[in-house]
Amino acid sequence: MSDLTRLSINQETIKQWSLPELAEGCAKAGIDKAGLWRGPVQEYGVERTARLLGDAGIGVTSLCRGGFLTAPDPAGRARALDDNRAALDEAAGLSTDTLVLVSGGLPAGSRDLYGARERVADALAELAPYAAERGVRLAIEPLHPMFASDRCVVSTLSQALDIAERFPAEQVGVVVDTYHVWWDDQAPAQIARAGAGGRIHSFQLADWITPLPAGVLLGRGQLGEGSVDFRALRQQVEDTGFTGPIEVEIFNESLWARDGSEVLAEVAARYLEHAC
Amino acid sequence: MSDLTRLSINQETIKQWSLPELAEGCAKAGIDKAGLWRGPVQEYGVERTARLLGDAGIGVTSLCRGGFLTAPDPAGRARALDDNRAALDEAAGLSTDTLVLVSGGLPAGSRDLYGARERVADALAELAPYAAERGVRLAIEPLHPMFASDRCVVSTLSQALDIAERFPAEQVGVVVDTYHVWWDDQAPAQIARAGAGGRIHSFQLADWITPLPAGVLLGRGQLGEGSVDFRALRQQVEDTGFTGPIEVEIFNESLWARDGSEVLAEVAARYLEHAC
């Protein structure tokens, strides 16, 4: 007996699929939730994507991604805010309640992580009301510390919550992604803190495997291949009362090189084996 | 006016040099301290290395490395303890007071970081008295969280100190390596904690640069190339009263491909520019 009712497939996991293939493949596999990315959605059209997935009975659990809010110059900051407002409009158009935010890295030549994090918080003060008007929650995703300089100055759940808690929980929360937090001995306490505040806006799964590839971005593992204890992390998340979707988001070229249906079947089987 | 009195060169930074070349090159450059690695020392001979460096007026600030103490099986554990006792003998033979420990990663198939860290602590209980008899301090080096699965289950200064503080400070302390801790907003408080307890047994410098190469081990940057605020970290370390050596340890193939004297001169200049 399988229970895929909580499972959501992030479309980047099966990047080789077009949106129509994703809609059809998920529907066939009995998976009724997906996380989307702005690039392919913009290409296909926001309204058209919403209709396509709606017709297939597939709900959108998150849109990736807004963020990149660390620019110190007024022009760069204005561009980033505009882009995030557009992302929030797209999220609303897709009827998803969650926009995932990757904060952005250090500006060129800067060594000031603290200042960069403060600029993220300042930007959220402008974006949160705009998000609230559209019924979309901003979900700050702490990325593994190996991304601190070039992609995301928010490296831990603790840092993400320090920012999120300046805003109402229905406006700003966090993403708990096993790939980014599995190593952190503070994660259990911070998951409890996030859950108690109603701030777990997204729960994502990927495994940690080595050796990491050059650039490290595409090194995520299929569930069960690596070091992540999914059952323990899911338990910690659910002990807080979380009953939301569980989204599998794996960036890995070896998965992209395979048949999409085969990858989807494998993800579902691994999810049942390792995370249920 | 240059002040290289605190500077130590870890030999891996100029791996292209033999030990005699290192001794001669450092002496010529007015640098009287070096950190050594077991492999080249064993090859050249412990006593011979001690004589070579002694004759050149160069002190050994640390020996890299012991550790790899996470094996769960009795045979693997016994082998690791034997190897660490040998490393302590070698450290004593070189008249260095510090053996750097890299804890080791998760055993194959294991997802239990907590259990692995406890095995490190258990092993130190056996090794600490042996080290004390030889006048050598064990220095637990937290490695960046990207090494947590395959190299070092101790990822933060906080975790390293939680283990070290079970033992007398003159037996077990920590390494503060900028490459591994620069991203951590808990580092300043943990450096203060380590210093207050007399447990900063080694202070090492390398810069954080991206993109990371495949395998990530050899991605360290020359001082000043990347995101690390060396002056701030040195200040934090010295605010605790630390007056020990400052060891530059960079693993980077582009440095190894160059003339050793040129690399040494560049390291010294960068040290003065960015860390003094």
pLDDT tens for A64-110 read 999 999 999 999 999 999 999 999 999 999 999 999 999 999 999 99
Local confidence band at B24 (pLDDT 50, 70, 90 cut-offs):
very high
Q: Is the pLDDT of residue B226 over 60?
A: yes
SS3 B175: strand
Strand partners, B207: B221
B135 conformational bin, left if phi > 0, alpha if psi -120 to 50, beta if neither = left
Q: Is the pLDDT of residue B161 over 70?
A: yes
Q: What percent of chain A has pLDDT over 90?
A: 99
In a domain, B51, yes or no: yes
- Chain A positions touching B159 (Cβ under 8 A) are 185
Residues A36, B142: Cα–Cα separation, whole Å: 37
In a domain, A2, yes or no: no
CATH number at residue B175: 3.20.20.150
- ipTM of the complex, rounded to two decimals: 0.96
> Is B146 in Cβ contact with A145 (below 8 Å)?
yes
Q: Does the CB of B242 have a partner CB in chain A at under 8 Å?
A: no
Domain count, chain B: 1
Full DSSP string of A81-125: HHHHHHHHHHHHHTT-SEEEEE-B-PPTT---HHHHHHHHHHHHH
Of A208, A215, A229, the CB nearest to B212: A215
Strand partners, B67: B102
Of A185, A212, A215, the CB nearest to B146: A212
- Domain hosting residue B98, numbered range: 7-275
Q: Please choose, from the candidates B119, B160, B115, B159, the residue with its C-alpha nearest in 3D space to the C-alpha of residue B139.
A: B160
In a domain, B64, yes or no: yes
In a domain, B122, yes or no: yes
**Stretch B65-90: mean pLDDT, rounded?**
98
- Chain B positions touching A226 (Cβ under 8 A) are 149
In a domain, B1, yes or no: no
In a domain, A61, yes or no: yes
In a domain, A239, yes or no: yes
pLDDT tens for A133-143 read 999 999 999 99
> Is B213 in Cβ contact with A214 (below 8 Å)?
yes
